[in-house]
Structure 1
Amino acid sequence: MPAGSDFLQLRAAEAPAKGLTGWLADGLRGAIAAGRLAPGARLPPTRQLAAELGVSRGVVVQAYQRLVDEGLAGARTGSGTVVARHAAVTPRPPADRRRTLHELRLPLSTPDGIDLNLSPGVPDLSAFPRAAWLRAERVVLDRVTAADLGYGDPGGIPRLRAALAAWLARTRGVLAEADDILVCGGVAQGLALLAQVLTSRGEAAWAVEDPGSRGARDQMLHWRVRPEPVPVDDHGLRVEPLIGTGLRTVLLTPAHQFPTGVVLAPDRRRELLAWAAAGDRLVIEDDYDAEHRYDRAPVAALQGTAPESVAYLGSVSKSLAPGIRLGWLIAPRRLQADLLAAKHASDLGSSALPQLTLAELLANGDYERHLRTVRARQRVHRDALLAGLRAHLPQARVRGVAAGLHLLAELPAGVDDVAFADRIRENGVLVHPLTWHRLLPGPPGLVIGYAAHPPDRLAEAAARLGRAR
């Protein structure tokens, strides 16, 4: 299909009184050099272009002929005038994007030379329930209204918020009405909204688990929130050092601590919520992978015990796929109006069709069936990696295996885990040194994801780790 005149970026009102052919030929050359007209592209018919530019057809015919004479275009019977295959395009400077992604250590950014990305947080994208999603999407498209596709409530489509309220109450013990739920673009956007609202209220520093999520800390810094480390032990976040910080906000992963995998002990939960209630403080609960559990009963969310002290975050990034960009934030009601305003200012609201599709999956039971299937599949993956580590890295103490999509291999004292991870990387395997997820010095280890690869590949990865010792 031939192009119109838009590619020329010329205004008829600015055309010179004389030299119209040269003016148009220059515009055509510029479009070819900039890549707006690709090699093989068909130029508009001469009458069409003349009408759009307000010039005579003869001007266009002569301009086209100049391009043909210069070898930049050719005339083809039945195809009109097309850009020559060898027409030069001004090269753009090489993009620096891949290097930036690698520096951010994003889990889905796989550096060159890596064929086994075992970064934590990468789900098994091959398990995405395509058939169920397609069925749900067809149901949604069959009954979607014009209002559903307009600018709706920036907090989320009511149908999804109602479905999430029921689902989270049943599976996570969350206490919320539909209007308490703010649908957002994953946990990342939820954190961003909280950072904007809390910093505007003077909360420019938050306590964080140490070790804890490097990604969450990096995002806090982007939003000018200073992370202050609070140590984690075998029972989770230590509340006494938290009290000692004097801070009013803490971000933590109580159900499955990242990266150690420990569960916040009952006495620590009570101490933490007492700390929050005593001073109008805030606990930000990142429930990032609560659906994935294998060898223990589910641990209820903190939010259900103290909804006015806890901001609860969750998403479908680990259960379905991170590319869907759907999550939820349930905050104390004193923060909800400001968070909704921040969400509206950010993007006017999340995409409607994915929200409606997820609501249908929750309503028809396909989401829950998918989770059961994925849990069984991930258990097999975990067991394969565990067996491989026992065989090839016997000096490591493996922790956090009862739930989640990763495990922690603690290394003997004195091992440089960053250097070890670099040697592993030379063998084509990407893992995280525990040091990446620390603010304070501590014992070495490797944080290893197992969701994204089949058992035979995980066994191969463990063998490569052993060879890197």
Structure 2
Amino acid sequence: MTDSRTNSAADPPPASGADLHLELRGPGLRAGLAGALREAMRTGRLAPGTRLPASRSLAADLGVSRNTVVEAYAELVAEGWLTAQQGSGTRVATRVEPHRAAPDAPPTRPTRHRPRYGLLTGSPDLAGFPRTQWVTAARRALAAAPHDAFGYGDARGRVELRTALADYLARARGVYAEPERVVICSGFHHGLALMAQVLRARRVRAVAVEAFGLDLYRDLLTNAGLHTPPLYVDEHGARTDDLARLRAVGAVLMTPAHQYPTGVALCPERRTAAVDWARATGGLILEDDYDGEFRYDRQPVGALQGLDPQRVVYFGSVSKSLAPGVRLGWMVLPEELVPEIVTAKGHGDYMTSALEQLTLAEFIASGAYDRHVRAMRLRYGRRRDQLVAVLRQRAPGIRVAGMAAGLQTVLELPRGTESSVLRAAARQGLAVSGLAQFGYEVADCGWQLPERDALVVNYAAPSDSAWAGALDALCRVMP
């Protein structure tokens, strides 16, 4: 008859002595071993019921005599820390409870209720992530992956993904891209941080930024030691003709296809003015094409990079088209910048997950990425149409600004009402942003942002089940 105390699937074998991580302390080996075991049991590293290594095995692993281990075990059995039974080995006694310090009482804070509906910018509909298709692509990519994919690879990224991206970006965004000029990164933030390092190494002192945008990226540039003078933004986009009047500016960060967050496109004259400035001064245009695939009233405007691939650094990612959690982005660089970016990347986050890169490459090459973008374009376009129609009916005094594109839109409010609308939204359990939080100006720029009250509404973020409630809550807070 089999002894129920022998090893089984429910009773794992004892750990080896090397796995116990014991540090022997004390006046002698026996006392040091006994003390180390007590500490491991007291702190919970050796849980009640854990089976310890045989004395001979532990002695060999620790480099002590077997008698030392036998005597230490016997001492702890006598103290009640361990139990020893024939056929069951030596185990931590079940009555041993690890000692854990009582947690400090948390400081008293005001109660905060989690918003019921989220219309904050920055995220697509996460429920729309194509899980099944992504798993299929991952399986195919893993099955076909060469052995070198599991080693330290090219800092530029896997050639399979760089090749797939070069083809896709040329076809869908009008980008002049060769695989050798594509560098994979962990999203736009990572790519901009690398670019900031390179600009500082080139002794660039300032990077112009649009007067409306994310302070996260302005802060990134500032923390890298770069000044960030603002460019005024109006209904035609950033005033790029002002670049020539800004001192010591060696680059400009822009969202030309769909200005973030005001939602306007950079007009053709200003696109040309930006490229002319870069050519005349040797400056660089840093193009953030964060949601360029999503245009609902016409074909998307092509990337600015196509006008001059040697003066424009093109940034893209899957954060809006798929999900930010995938953590994959790319830079399409002027040829001369590739070695400098690769060097900067080698000083920090040298590699991005090769398996994620191969999966995305397969996802693009199979056509699944195009199909997903088309499906989400239809979904987001319907969402925006619903928003416009409902506001026209329930809040006719509210104007929807910006073009029919991207994941968010701007709702113009009566003068002086932005703060009160935001407070009302919070009471309704609605998380939404005011335009004021995206504004940026400095005292010596020669102009001030005009007073403008508005909400920035992300109609893409809510799931289908939450969208109707979010839209109703938004309408209830409109003045």
With the length of structure 1 as denominator, give the TM-score of the two structures: 0.86
Deviations 1:57-86 (A, max 9, x none): 555456556667777666798585247574
CA–CA distance in 1 between the matches of 2:222 and 2:394? 38
CA–CA distance in 2 between the matches of 1:68 and 1:406? 67
Which is further off, 114-123 or 387-396? 387-396
Contact 1:115–1:429 under 8 Å retained in 2: yes
Asked if residue 447 in structure 1 is aligned to residue 449 in structure 2, the reply is no
Deviations 1:160-186 (A, max 9, x none): 111111111111111121101111111
CA–CA distance in 2 between the matches of 1:435 and 1:378? 25
Structure 1's 459 and 158: CA in aligned 2 closer, same or farther, altered over 3 A? same
The alignment partner of 2:229 has SS state of strand
The alignment partner of 1:170 has SS state of helix
Corresponding position of 1:459: 468
Asked if residue 229 in structure 1 is aligned to residue 230 in structure 2, the reply is yes
Structure 1's 71 and 275: CA in aligned 2 closer, same or farther, altered over 3 A? farther
Shift of 1:437: 1.0
User: Which of 305, 308, 315 in structure 1 is aligned with 2:317?
Assistant: 315
Corresponding position of 1:88: 99
The alignment partner of 1:248 has SS state of strand
The one-letter code sitting in structure 2 at the alignment partner of 1:50 is A
Shift of 1:342: 0.8
Corresponding position of 1:189: 190
Asked if residue 53 in structure 1 is aligned to residue 65 in structure 2, the reply is no
Contact 2:41–2:92 under 8 Å retained in 1: no
* Correspondences of 1:343-354 after superposition (within 5 Å): 343-354=345-356
Shift of 1:10: 3.4
Contact 1:243–1:275 under 8 Å retained in 2: yes
* Correspondences of 1:23-34 after superposition (within 5 Å): 23-32=32-41, 34=43
Shift of 1:112: 5.3
User: Which of 366, 370, 373 in structure 2 is aligned with 1:371?
Assistant: 373
Shift of 1:269: 0.7
CA–CA distance in 2 between the matches of 1:41 and 1:468? 59
The alignment partner of 1:347 has SS state of coil
Structure 1's 366 and 268: CA in aligned 2 closer, same or farther, altered over 3 A? same
CA–CA distance in 1 between the matches of 2:280 and 2:430? 47
**Structure 1 unaligned regions, length at least 5:** 100-110
CA–CA distance in 2 between the matches of 1:138 and 1:260? 40
Corresponding position of 1:404: 406
Shift of 1:92: 6.8
Corresponding position of 2:439: 438
The alignment partner of 2:330 has SS state of strand
Shift of 1:465: 3.4
Corresponding position of 2:327: 325
The alignment partner of 1:227 has SS state of coil
The one-letter code sitting in structure 1 at the alignment partner of 2:357 is Q
Deviations 1:352-385 (A, max 9, x none): 1111111112222111111111212222333344
Contact 1:32–1:89 under 8 Å retained in 2: no
Corresponding position of 1:103: none
Contact 2:176–2:306 under 8 Å retained in 1: yes
Structure 1's 67 and 369: CA in aligned 2 closer, same or farther, altered over 3 A? farther
Contact 2:42–2:97 under 8 Å retained in 1: no
Question: Which protein is bigger by CA-based radius of gyration?
Answer: 2
Contact 2:54–2:89 under 8 Å retained in 1: no
With the length of structure 2 as denominator, give the TM-score of the two structures: 0.85
Shift of 1:270: 1.0
Shift of 1:35: 5.0
Corresponding position of 2:6: none
Structure 1's 284 and 59: CA in aligned 2 closer, same or farther, altered over 3 A? same
Corresponding position of 1:104: none
Contact 1:392–1:465 under 8 Å retained in 2: no
CA–CA distance in 2 between the matches of 1:172 and 1:233? 24
Corresponding position of 1:108: none
Root-mean-square deviation (CA, aligned residues, Å) is 3.0
Shift of 1:52: 2.0
